[in-house]
Amino acid sequence: MTTLAGFLIALTIGLTGIGGGVLTAPVLLLFLGMPAPLAVGTALVFVAIVKLFAAPMFVIRRQVNYRVLSLLLAGGLPGALIGSVLLERLHSKGLNGPLLLLLGLTIVFSASINFLRKQAGAVTGADKSRRLPFISLPIGVEVGFSSAGAGALGSLALMHWTTLTAAEVVGTDILFGFGLSVAAGSVHLSNGGVDSNILRLLLLGGVPGSLLGAWLATIFPTRALRKGLAVWLIYLGANLCWRGIGALAH
């Protein structure tokens, strides 16, 4: 079942471009019953490895703006480390109710952003990329804390604050998400916050799923699929919120 979940998650990443963290962590939390830090850490490492297979394609096609990427990472990497430490601290203090509630709200917020995403080709206006480190810092905190946010929020920031082309938005955001996943995943890994057995099973399905999804994305229209997936993620996030409220009530 875990291998099938890895395949479907990676297939969806390839088809829709929606970040894998916002998909993987809720599945591990709700369906496998993993503790929050372990679920987030495993999701981050899984996403980093899956994106490792996708990133070279954008580099070879020269669809990455390295100046903009460096500005994103300048704020995003410290944020990812802060978010990872914050998650560990909350869990270590036994604050599982507030933790689940915060994770649920974060996932609902990140999924809702997908309804606001415009076509990247419609970007106009002056380049404001110098402000990106201040924007990417909270995005990094969100990724480190919940494994969600790099895909939806990163691309939204690029569309509104830069004049990158559609292809450059996708390519630059993929590498931004990869960098954040590696940084935050390393923190969780060093703290023992990654389930190696679950990770292995996820990757058995995830690697072929990501390659198949990237190929199918060139054939099938994916806008309706992205909207439907966002609704499903909002439901999962709301479920986590409900569990968090229930834990607080007790």
- Give pLDDT tens digits for 146-159: 887 677 778 778 88
Q: Examine the pLDDT at 114 and tell me if it is beyond 80.
A: no
Q: Examine the pLDDT at 29 and tell me if it is beyond 50.
A: yes
Q: Examine the pLDDT at 250 and tell me if it is beyond 80.
A: no
- pLDDT average, residue stretch 124-144: 83
Confidence grade of residue 119 (pLDDT, cut at 50, 70, 90):
very low
The predicted structure's pLDDT at residue 69 = 95
DSSP characters over 69-133: HHHHHHHHHHHHHHHHHHHHHHHHTT-HHHHHHHHHHHHHHHHHHTTTPPPGGG--S---GGGHH
Q: What gap in Å lies between CA 216 and CA 84, rounded to an integer?
A: 34
Q: Examine the pLDDT at 120 and tell me if it is beyond 60.
A: no
The two tokens of residue 194 are 């990654």
Q: What gap in Å lies between CA 91 and CA 216, rounded to an integer?
A: 39
Q: What residues does each domain of the chain span?
A: 2-249
- Classify residue 189 by burial, with Cβ atoms within 10 Å: 0-12, 13-18, 19+: middle
Q: Is the pLDDT higher at 78 or at 26?
A: 78
Cβ atoms 169, 155 nearer than 8 A: yes
Closest CA to 185 of 150, 211, 138: 150
Cβ-proximal residues to 104 (8 Å cutoff; 6+ apart), any chain? 237, 238, 239, 240, 241, 242, 243, 244
107 residue type, one letter: I
